[in-house]
């Protein structure tokens, strides 16, 4: 890590962090945890206790501070308070485990704030359909900034922030495309978790940043060599799942020999995912309020909290 980048962060060891939460009861079972984690990820109930319960406590502090500011502003402006969702952005590399983090936060927040509606969306739904990417000759740039409909994403966040419902496209990793005529409707949530590799990035031809709408930003981090290992493991597991499904996008790779599969995976990592990480994703890390750093065993070993 570039030390200058983290001048504005407090570095906290896992041992210190876990002492910031006194409760020893984890509000979910191992079976529930297994059901929400990505299939190539590893996470334990101990990790929930040591890392995520203190994190939810911190989210409570941020939410209270936001509510106090909203109340003070309403007094100053002599306006009625308008209910707004608390929006959490979660970013990080492909294969780093940000989806698991987001789904886990959704469960923990919903069980901490008993009557709250907690919604989660992934920015995969805001990718342009493959047909559009092909027409623009950027299908091999899927995941890069130009492959997303950022105006639609900003419109979604603006509408949700104003307390209105919104239906967003659905993306399928099995078909590797937007699913036609299938939508996810988000109904005026109390909390909204927005997960994606692009949520802290520079806007494309807009004056707004997606992160302008976030009340709290989290970046899931790990050393590049570890992320590469996890990506290669995930690629091979995706092929195993696709072996008997000719409609699955990854089925085409199952006909290759093992050395050919590894070559495709390494090439995809180097030319797409690593290139995207180094140029567009990792440079946004310092925009986060909280950085969760994972070690090679997938466990979070360091937490960086913006001062």
Instruction: Tell me whether residue 99 is annotated as binding.
Output: yes
Instruction: Tell me whether residue 96 is annotated as binding.
Output: yes
- What are 256's two structure tokens? 């290759």
Instruction: Tell me whether residue 95 is annotated as binding.
Output: yes
- Determine the Cα–Cα distance for residues 41 and 187; give it in Å rounded to an integer: 30
- What are 185's two structure tokens? 């409707």
How deeply is 132 buried, as exposed, middle or buried, from its count of CB atoms within 10 A (0-12, 13-18, 19+)?
A: middle
Torsion of CA 11, 5, 96, 160, to 10 degrees: 100
Instruction: Tell me whether residue 38 is annotated as binding.
Output: no
Residue 179 neighbours by CB distance under 10 Å: 14
- Determine the Cα–Cα distance for residues 2 and 28; give it in Å rounded to an integer: 37
Residue 225 neighbours by CB distance under 10 Å: 9
Place of tokens 């967003």: 168
Could you tell me if 303 and 292 are in contact, meaning their C-beta atoms sit under 8 angstroms apart? yes
Instruction: Tell me whether residue 125 is annotated as binding.
Output: no
Instruction: Tell me whether residue 121 is annotated as binding.
Output: no
Rg (CA), the chain: 20
Residue 257 is given by DSSP the state: -
Q: Point out the annotated binding site for ATP.
A: 92-99
Q: Point out the annotated binding site.
A: 92-99
């Amino acid at each position: 890590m570039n030390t200058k980048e983290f001048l504005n962060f407090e570095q906290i060891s896992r041992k210190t962090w876990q002492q910031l939460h006194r409760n020893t009861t984890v509000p979910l079972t191992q079976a529930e945890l297994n059901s929400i984690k990505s299939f190539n990820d590893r996470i334990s109930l101990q990790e929930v206790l040591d890392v995520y319960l203190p994190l939810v406590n911190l989210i409570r502090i941020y939410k209270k501070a936001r509510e106090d500011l909203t109340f003070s502003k309403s007094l100053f402006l002599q306006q009625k308070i308008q209910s707004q969702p608390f929006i959490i952005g979660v970013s990080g590399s492909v294969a780093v485990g940000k989806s698991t983090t987001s789904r886990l936060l959704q469960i923990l927040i919903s069980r901490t704030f008993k009557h709250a509606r907690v919604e989660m969306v992934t920015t995969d739904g805001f990718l342009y359909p493959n047909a559009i990417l092909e027409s623009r000759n950027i299908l091999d740039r899927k995941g890069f900034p130009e492959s997303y409909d950022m105006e639609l994403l900003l419109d979604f966040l603006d509408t949700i922030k104003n307390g209105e419902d919104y239906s967003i496209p659905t993306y399928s990793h099995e078909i590797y495309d937007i699913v036609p005529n299938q939508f996810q409707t988000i109904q005026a949530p109390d909390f909204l978790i927005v997960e994606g590799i692009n949520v802290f990035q520079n806007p494309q031809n807009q004056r707004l940043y997606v992160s302008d709408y976030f009340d709290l930003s989290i970046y899931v981090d790990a050393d590049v060599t570890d992320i590469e290992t996890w990506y290669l493991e995930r690629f091979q597991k995706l092929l195993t799942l696709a072996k008997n499904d000719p409609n699955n996008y990854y089925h085409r790779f199952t006909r290759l020999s093992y050395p050919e599969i590894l070559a495709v995976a390494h090439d995809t990592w180097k030319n797409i995912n690593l290139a995207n990480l180094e140029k567009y994703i990792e440079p946004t890390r310092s925009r986060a309020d909280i950085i969760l750093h994972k070690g090679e065993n997938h466990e979070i070993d360091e937490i960086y909290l913006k001062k």
